Amino acid sequence: MTRPSDRQINSDLIRPLLHTSWRFYLLVLFFGGIVLTAIGTWFYQAYSGYGVTGIKWPVFWGFYITSFVFWIGISHAGTLISAILRLVQAEWRRPVTRCAEVITVFALMIGALFPIAHLGRPWLFFWLAPYPSERLIWPNFRSPLVWDFFAINTYLTGSVLFLLLPMIPDFAVIRDKSTGLRRRIYGALSMGWRGTPKQWHRLETAMSIMAVVILPVAVSVHTIVSFDFSMAPVPMWQSTIFGPYFVAGAIFSGIAGLIIAMAFLRKFLHLEAYLLPVHFENLGKLMLVMAVLWGYFVFNERLVTYYGNEPAEMAVFWRTQRESFAPLYWTMVVCNFVLPVILMGIKYTRKTITGCVIASLGVVVGMWLERFLIIVPSLGHKYLPYAYGIYRPRVLEVVIAGATFAAIVLLYVLFAKVVPIISMWELKTPEHEPGHGDQAPEVQALREVQP
Amino acid sequence: MPRWGMAADLDRCTGCGACVTACHAENNISTVGPYQAMRGRAKHWIRVERYWEGEFPDVRLKFRPVMCQQCGNAPCEPVCPTYASQHTEDGLNAQVYNRCIGTRYCANACPYTVRFFDFFNPEWDKPLHLQLNPDVSLREVGVMEKCTFCVQRIKAATIQAKADETELKDGDIKPACVQSCPAQALVFGDLNDPESAVSRLSESPRGSKLLEDLGTHPAVTYLSRQTQV
């Protein structure tokens, strides 16, 4: 692989920041419009009462909680993948890490909005936070929703740090290459970065610490999200496998989200020289592993339920397996297992970006369905036959859940406008260089010519 | 300290629905109209479940009044993030409306599905608002509500007994459903008092709890129907 020169890297990756085409405004206008519509729709819901949604007795959770779990899952793309790849020193990760970490931060922000959006009285959401209040009451620390609140906040803080740290040297490059107000802003953001060996050393140390710290946090976040379900005595919810099952599914959907985002970036920001087919292929291999793992968990969950033969659970089991939810269920199996295993298992399709993107789109759809199929069939079919019910989403919920996809594109587009979407200094650091990253690239370049 | 409980004699229940009506009147439960009811927004703190057994024409109709079972080990309580669903000293599952932020987690966790959500602000056509019970607070949009065993009546009777310096007698307290049941199928009282009617009925060999194997320790005992062969 011929590496683009440092100068080339700088100009290629800073170009989107300095030059704005009409396409950018069109994208922002289009996706911004969708997001604003959804926000307006939600205010309408908050104003007129929750009854304008399709939520009903006995299915009290629907599209919103599905979206919540889905986006928290997608958020495992970044930090987790990039932290793992950093720790195992996979060199191919370099152009991929920032794209991934950005997904994490934005997907978390979107996902974290849903538990608030779905509240009956969303204006009181801050009662989840422990603070000394005139109500003289703490949040209930036994409630998985409170664990969620802490887990998501911790993960968000951690991933923002993990994203910001390696941006500092890049901010410094932009500072040096720009003038006026932009120079002042990026100057402040780069926090006095001069590229001294000491600074590089500190950055590397901080990154290593963060990579180690973020891993257990990421695993715990989705385990705790799964606890929202497995802690309640609802048929097919109370399962010991939910923790690892959700974490695996989260990483799985995260990789899919990352592949789709990378394909778009490559196309629209002309990053063909940086995001190579080999990156897609490697992520495709990871996705293949996760698809097989996901299949194993689903098979395990289903088989244990089937042999357990508990009447209430079996009612839900057959509902998803061959009754009203069967079409969705088998679509999920095809999207999450058959499609990625075939496309990523065959070398020919795995090596093409199109093949990777098609498999990823399937996985995103399949994982969304998976969360829906965990939540809704169980709630509509609890123990007493008198209280069976069917949930149908209303347009309003579909708009809000659908607009999250526009929201992530919008945030991504805006982000790519202010920060190079590929970490420039990581690209420049020579690969397999003894002690790479310990010193500024310039110093290392000097060292290369000396005997 | 008493532990409030109820017994429902299914042999006596005729499924007339008087308890449902009385509960609505006593507890200011708003009705939502036919359209919203069709969409699953109706609220009945007590309901009469109807189950048919057998094949036509050999059918047998069974009624079962179901209200909050005031579980001793309630699944709704630990999941509430704001302590809106909370256990009281006298064994009730209290629902503190003002603490509720409407996560609806309790309703999902409840195996009996006896918790109801206020999808809209309650409304009463004039002059129906004049019939509201001043002892029961109205619930605004976005909170959960459920059967309280008519806690306002329990409190009123307890306070009155204290003021009169007398002991509460068995049968002094009657929730609206118990009071209105023409067949006297429902009996309410203190389970900690071995002499009370409800204690004796709870120990009947006909007695069973609803979904007992979930380990919720319900405070409501159902006395099964006797088969007449």
* Distance between first and last Cα of chain B: 43
Which CATH number is B4-223 given? 3.30.70.20
Closest CA to B39 of A391, A395, A65: A391
B122 contacts on A by Cβ (under 8 Å): none
How confident is the model at residue B228, as a pLDDT?
63
Cβ distance of A140 and B102 shorter than 8 Å: no
pLDDT confidence of A433, banded at 50, 70, 90? very low
Structure token digits, residue A425: 């200094």
Q: Which amino acid is at A327?
A: P
Q: Say yes or no to pLDDT of A444 above 50.
A: no
> CA–CA separation, B74 vs A446, rounded Å?
70
Among A121, A142, A374, A391, which would you mutate to test the B interface (most chain B Cβ atoms within 10 Å of its Cβ)?
A121
Yes or no, beta carbons of B51 and A385 under 8 Å apart: yes
- Per-residue pLDDT band at B199 (split at 50, 70, 90): very high
In angstroms, the separation between the Cα of residue A243 and the nearest Cα of chain B is 17
Q: Is residue A135 included in any domain, yes or no?
A: no
DSSP B207: E
Interchain pair A143, B113: CB under 8 A: no
Residues B128-173: tens digit of each pLDDT: 889 999 999 999 999 999 999 999 999 999 999 999 999 999 989 9
pLDDT band at A435 (very low <50, low <70, confident <90, very high): very low
Count of residues making up chain B? 229
Angle between helices A197-230 and A63-74 (to 10 degrees): 150
Using a pLDDT cut of 90, give the percent of chain A over it: 61
How many independent structural domains does chain A possess? 1
DSSP letters along A254-282, please? Answer: HHHHHHHHHHHHHHHTT-TTTS-HHHHHH
For residue A290, the domain's CATH number is: 1.20.1630.10
> Residue A400 above 50 pLDDT?
yes
Query: In A, what residues contact B, Cβ < 8 A?
Result: 48-51, 55-61, 115, 118-122, 124-125, 127-128, 135, 137, 139-140, 142-146, 149, 228, 231-234, 379, 382-387, 389
Residue that wins the pLDDT comparison between A23 and A108? A108
For residue B102, give the nearest of A121, A143, A234 by CB distance: A121
The whole-number average pLDDT for the span A192-201 is 88
Q: How confident is the model at residue A110 (pLDDT cuts 50, 70, 90)?
A: very high
Span A258-308, pLDDT tens digits: 999 989 888 887 888 888 888 899 889 999 999 999 999 999 999 999 999
Is residue A18, in this structure, part of any structural domain at all?
yes
Domain that holds residue A182: 6-129+146-444
Average pLDDT over residues A430-444: 45
Residues of A in contact with B119 (CB under 8 A): 49-51, 55
How confident is the prediction for chain A on average, in pLDDT? 88
Helix (H, G, I), strand (E, B) or coil at B50: strand
Residue matched to tokens 């244990």: A304
* Domain residue spans of chain B: 4-223
Instruction: Determine, for residues A386 and B116 on separate chains, whether the beta-carbon distance falls below 8 Å.
Output: no
The answer to whether residue A432 scores a pLDDT higher than 60 is no
Residue A179 banded pLDDT, cuts 50, 70, 90: confident
Looking at every residue in chain B, the average pLDDT score rounds to 93
Contacts of A137 in chain B (CB under 8 A): 82-83, 99
| pLDDT at residue B35, rounded to an integer | 93
Mean pLDDT of A379-398: 93
Answer for the pair B188, B178: CB distance below 8 angstroms, yes or no.
yes
pLDDT in the model for residue B56: 87
CB contact under 8 A, A137 and B47: no
Partner-chain contact B78 A142, CB within 8 Å: yes
Higher pLDDT, A254 or A88: A254
- Rg of chain B over Cα atoms, rounded to whole angstroms, equals 18
How many other C-beta atoms can be found within 10 angstroms of the C-beta atom of residue A122? 18
Is residue A409 scored above 80 in pLDDT?
yes
Tokens of A426: 């990581």
* Cβ atoms B197, B171 nearer than 8 A: yes
Q: Are strands B186-190 and B144-145 parallel, antiparallel or unpaired?
A: unpaired
Kindly list the residues from chain A whose CB atom is less than 8 angstroms away from the CB atom of residue B100.
120-121
| β-pairing verdict for B220-223 and B4-9 | parallel
Average pLDDT over residues B92-96: 94
CA distances from B201 to A206, A254, A274, A425 (A): 68, 57, 78, 78
Identity of the residue in A51, A144, A379 whose CB atom sits nearest the CB atom of B36: A51
A395-423: average pLDDT:
91
Q: What is the mean pLDDT of residues A20-40?
A: 92
Given a contact cutoff of 8 angstroms between Cβ atoms, the answer to whether B145 and B118 are in contact is yes
Model pLDDT, residue A405:
94
Whether residue A34 is predicted with pLDDT greater than 90 in this model: the reply is: yes
Is residue B136 within 8 Å of B32, Cβ to Cβ? no
Determine the 3-state secondary structure of B81 from DSSP: coil
Q: At CB < 8 A and 24+ separation, what contacts does A294-297 make?
A: A294/A248, A294/A249, A294/A252, A294/A336, A294/A337, A295/A336, A295/A337, A295/A341, A297/A241, A297/A244, A297/A245, A297/A248, A297/A249
Structure tokens at A7: 């100068």
Residue A134 is assigned to a structural domain of this protein: no
> Across the interface, which of B81, B108, B216 has its CB nearest the CB of A139?
B81
Asked whether residue A136 is assigned to any structural domain, the reply reads no
> What is this structure's pTM?
0.92
Q: Is residue A97 part of a domain?
A: yes
Task: Work out whether the CA dihedral A312, A317, A318, A324 comes out positive or negative.
Answer: positive
Q: Which residue of B has its CA nearest to A383?
A: B111
Residue A80, pLDDT above cutoff 90: no
- The answer to whether residue A89 is domain-embedded is yes
A1 is a domain residue: no
Compute CA A403 distance to the chain's CA centroid, rounded to the nearest angstrom: 16
Which of A55, A119, A228 lies nearest to residue B101, judging by beta carbons?
Answer: A119
CA atoms lying within 13 Å on the CB side of residue A86: 28
pLDDT, one tens digit per residue, over B53-73 is 888 888 888 899 999 999 999
Question: C-alpha angle with apex A225: A224 to A228, nearest 5 degrees?
Answer: 90
- Whether residues B113 and A125 touch (CB distance < 8 A) is answered with no
Q: How far apart are the first and last CA of chain A?
A: 25
Distance CA A408, CA A113 (A): 13
Q: Do B82 and A137 touch (CB under 8 A)?
A: yes
Strand arrangement of the beta sheet that strand B220-223 belongs to: B186-190, B4-9, B220-223, B207-208
**Which pLDDT belongs to residue A430?**
54
Distance from the B196 Cα atom to the nearest Cα atom in chain A, whole angstroms: 30
Query: How many Cβ contacts (< 8 angstroms) between chains A and B?
Result: 140
